Each structure stands twice: as structure tokens, then as C-alpha cells.
Structure 1
Amino acid sequence: MSDFNLQQVPHLRRGFRLQWEPAQGCHVLLYPEGMVRLNDSAAEILLLVDGERNVGGIIDDLRLKFPDVPGLDEDILAFIEVAHAQFWLQLNA
């Protein structure tokens, strides 16, 4: 895994915006150079990225919403790692 921990607070990088795109029928991540279509799982995670909730809080909230999903913690951490590596997210201590 990456260098982040559960106490770090993710937020969208400057210039990125999450929104529902009716024409695409999904949430998208907009940025100056383009757009990323998000699947439902990625959108659920990014909808909780508010610059206040830490990674552990995001995991807890999604566990409550989806209690019967096996491996949810690992999937969330993997997505956050990828989103951070793609420069969609910044992680603050």
C-alpha cells in the first residue's frame, strides 16, 4: 500500500470537481484537461471526500452503508491509493 494512513484527510486536488453528469448517466470527475467517468463504487467513495473526513471515517461510513460487502476496507484503500497516484486526491495529515 501507499504511504497514507487512516488518519489522513483526503480532498480533491485543486482544479478537480466531482459532479453527476446526466448525459453520461454517472458521476464524473472534471478537471481542466478532461473528464473521468466513475463507476458507482468510485463515486460512493469520492462523494465522502469532503476535506474533513479522514480515510478511516470514509471506511466507517461506507461499512455502515454497505455492511455485507466483503473486502470493502481493502477496496476503499486501493481506490484511494490509485486516486492519489493519479493526482485526483491530496492527503493531509
Structure 2
Amino acid sequence: MNETNVSKRPRLRAPLELRWRADRRTCELLHLPGGMELNRSAGEILARCNGTRELDDIITELEAHFGAYGLAPDIYRFIDEARRLGWLD
């Protein structure tokens, strides 16, 4: 799915919240039946989905954070899937 099909300011849907493990390699998405363990990349994306950041700003920030560029297609796909699963507004 492309940029026009996702919210410009994605937000983690209430009452979901993230809890990072002590080593910050994984996090848990709380308030789902059984919870959901996520890898660091997924957690870093969702942690920035607070409704105040434009999706393009999130992508720019993540590219700088990870020192990698061209992440937009993967982030859009993840956001689309997170929306489909009901994790994002």
C-alpha cells in the first residue's frame, strides 16, 4: 500500500501500550490477548506512532536512528499491517 492509504499521523490505539525489555532488543505490545512480542524495529516504529508525528517525519527519524536509508516502503508496509491488525488509529 502506498503513502496515500495510511494516516499521516499514526497513533497507537488505546488501550495498547509498549513495554520494552531491559535490553531494548524486543518489546511487548500490551493489552492484546496473550500480548505480542515485537522485534526492535517494530517497537521503534510503534513507539513513534503517538498521533503527533507525521509519517514522513517518523521515517526520517528512523532512518537517522538506524543509519539506514530507503526504509519508507518497509515502514509503510508495517504501518498498513499494524492498522489491519487494529493496533493503530
User: Cα deviation per residue 1:25-80 (whole Å; 9 max; x = unaligned)?
Assistant: 621101152311001110111121122001111001112222335x4111111110
Decide which structure has greater helix share: 2
Equivalent residue, structure 2, for 1:9: 9
Equivalent residue, structure 1, for 2:44: 44
CA RMSD of aligned residues (A): 1.9
TM-score, normalization by structure 1: 0.78
Decide which structure has greater strand share: 1
**Which 4+ runs in 1 deviate beyond 2 A?**
66-69
Query: How many corresponding residue pairs?
Result: 85
Unaligned runs of 5+ in 1: none
After TM superposition, list the pairs within 5 Å mapping 1:65-84 onto structure 2. 65-69=65-69, 71-84=70-83
Structure 1 pair 32–80 and aligned structure 2 pair: CA distance change class (3 A) = closer
Identity of matched residues, %: 36
* Equivalent pair of 2:6/2:79 in contact (CA under 8 Å): no
* Equivalent pair of 1:16/1:32 in contact (CA under 8 Å): yes
